[in-house]
C-alpha cells in the first residue's frame, strides 16, 4: 500500500510514522507513506497557502491552488483508489471504513487546518470526506495519524499475530470483552476462573457474553445496531430456508 499525506504541519505526521506498528510496517515494505508539505506548493514568493474567507468571519481558509498542484502531480504519476479529505463534515470514521480502506492500494489523505479548506478542493478532488469524531482539531494531521494507524495495522504481515486485529473492538460491531494477564489476583480482584480453566469453548462463550453485555451497557447505540443487523440476517436466513 502507498499513502500520500498532504499536510500543513508535515512534522506531526513524520514523527508519528517513525514509531510503533506503522514504523515496523514501513520497514517490512508493507506500506509506503509519503508526507508532502503543502507550503512547497504555495503561491508566490512567500508560498502563500491561506487567505481571508469570502463573506467575512474569523480565521483563515486554505486556498485551492496549492492542493490542486500537489494532487495533479501525484495523480499524473499513478492512479489512486481514494482521495480523502479529513473534515468535520465527513462520514464518521469507524472500523468498517478502516477495513475497507485497508483493501486499497493507493490513498491520498488531505489534512485541513485553520478555519478550513476551500470547498472547491473537496468538490474537485475528494472521493470521500472522513471525520474522526464530532469535535474540532487544530491540525488535521492528527486525524490523518488516526486513520493511518487504524488502516495500516490491518494490513497482512503488520501485526505479529494475524488474529489480533480480527478480535479488536468493533470488528464484529461489538466492544471487545475485558482482558487479563498475570498476576491471577491483584488488590483483591481476581481473574475470572473460566479464563484460567483451559476450556476453550467455555472461554469463547464467556467472551461473547461479556462482549454483548459490555456493549449493551457502555455503547447502547452500537448494541442497537448489532441487534438490528442480527435480526435482518436472521430474517434473510429464514427466508432462504423457506
Q: Please state at what angle helix 220-241 crosses helix 200-218, rounded to 10 degrees.
A: 120
Q: Verify that 140 and 26 share a domain, yes or no.
A: yes
Query: For 50-109, what is each residue's pLDDT tens digit?
Result: 999 999 999 999 999 999 999 999 999 999 999 999 999 999 999 999 999 999 999 999
Q: Verify that 18 and 108 share a domain, yes or no.
A: yes
Q: Verify that 71 and 178 share a domain, yes or no.
A: no
Q: Verify that 129 and 48 share a domain, yes or no.
A: yes
Q: Verify that 76 and 180 share a domain, yes or no.
A: no
Whether the Cβ atoms of residue 153 and residue 21 lie closer than 8 Å to each other: yes
Q: Identify the CATH number of the domain in which residue 84 sits.
A: 3.40.1280.10
pLDDT of residue 234: 81
Q: Verify that 145 and 178 share a domain, yes or no.
A: no
d(CA 48, CA 53): 14
pLDDT band at 186 (very low <50, low <70, confident <90, very high): very high
Q: Verify that 18 and 137 share a domain, yes or no.
A: yes
Instruction: Note whether residue 236 is domain-resident.
Output: yes
Could you tell me which of 175, 171, 164, 169 has the C-alpha nearest to residue 212?
Answer: 175
pLDDT of residue 38: 98
pLDDT of residue 207: 94
Instruction: Write the burial class of residue 38 (CB in 10 Å: 0-12 exposed, 13-18 middle, 19+ buried).
Output: buried
Whether the Cβ atoms of residue 177 and residue 207 lie closer than 8 Å to each other: yes
Q: Identify the CATH number of the domain in which residue 234 sits.
A: 1.10.1270.20
Q: Verify that 141 and 196 share a domain, yes or no.
A: no
Work out how many domains the chain is built from and give that number: 2
Report residue 98 as a C-alpha cell.
Answer: 478502516
**Mean pLDDT along residues 193-221:** 96
pLDDT of residue 217: 97
pLDDT of residue 238: 53
Instruction: Note whether residue 159 is domain-resident.
Output: no
Instruction: Note whether residue 202 is domain-resident.
Output: yes
Q: Verify that 136 and 226 share a domain, yes or no.
A: no
Domain that holds residue 203: 169-241
Domain boundary among 127, 152, 177: 152
Q: Verify that 54 and 87 share a domain, yes or no.
A: yes
% of the chain beyond a pLDDT of 90: 84
Amino acid at each position: 500500500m502507498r499513502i500520500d499525506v498532504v499536510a500543513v504541519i508535515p512534522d506531526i505526521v513524520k514523527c508519528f510514522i517513525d514509531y510503533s506498528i506503522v514504523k515496523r510496517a514501513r520497514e517490512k515494505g508493507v506500506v509506503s507513506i509519503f508526507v508532502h508539505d503543502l507550503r512547497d506548493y504555495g503561491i508566490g514568493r512567500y508560498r502563500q497557502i491561506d487567505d481571508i474567507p469570502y463573506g467575512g468571519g474569523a480565521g483563515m481558509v486554505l486556498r485551492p491552488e496549492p492542493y490542486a498542484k500537489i494532487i495533479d502531480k501525484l495523480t499524473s504519476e499513478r492512479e489512486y483508489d481514494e482521495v480523502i479529505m479529513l473534515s468535520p463534515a465527513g462520514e464518521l470514521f469507524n472500523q468498517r471504513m478502516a477495513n475497507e480502506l485497508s483493501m486499497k492500494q493507493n490513498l491520498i489523505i488531505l489534512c485541513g487546518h485553520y478555519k478550513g479548506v476551500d470547498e472547491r478542493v473537496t468538490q474537485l478532488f475528494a472521493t470521500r470526506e472522513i471525520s474522526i469524531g464530532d469535535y474540532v482539531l487544530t491540525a488535521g494531521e492528527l486525524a490523518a495519524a488516526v486513520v493511518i494507524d487504524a488502516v495500516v495495522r490491518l494490513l497482512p504481515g503488520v501485526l505479529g499475530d494475524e488474529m489480533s486485529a480480527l478480535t479488536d473492538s468493533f470488528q464484529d460491531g461489538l466492544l471487545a470483552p475485558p482482558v487479563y494477564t498475570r498476576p491471577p489476583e491483584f488488590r483483591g480482584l481476581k481473574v475470572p476462573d473460566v479464563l484460567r480453566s483451559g476450556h476453550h469453548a467455555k472461554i469463547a462463550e464467556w467472551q461473547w457474553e461479556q462482549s454483548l453485555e459490555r456493549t449493551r451497557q457502555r455503547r447502547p447505540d452500537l448494541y442497537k445496531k448489532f441487534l438490528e443487523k442480527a435480526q435482518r440476517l436472521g430474517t434473510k436466513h429464514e427466508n432462504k430456508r423457506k
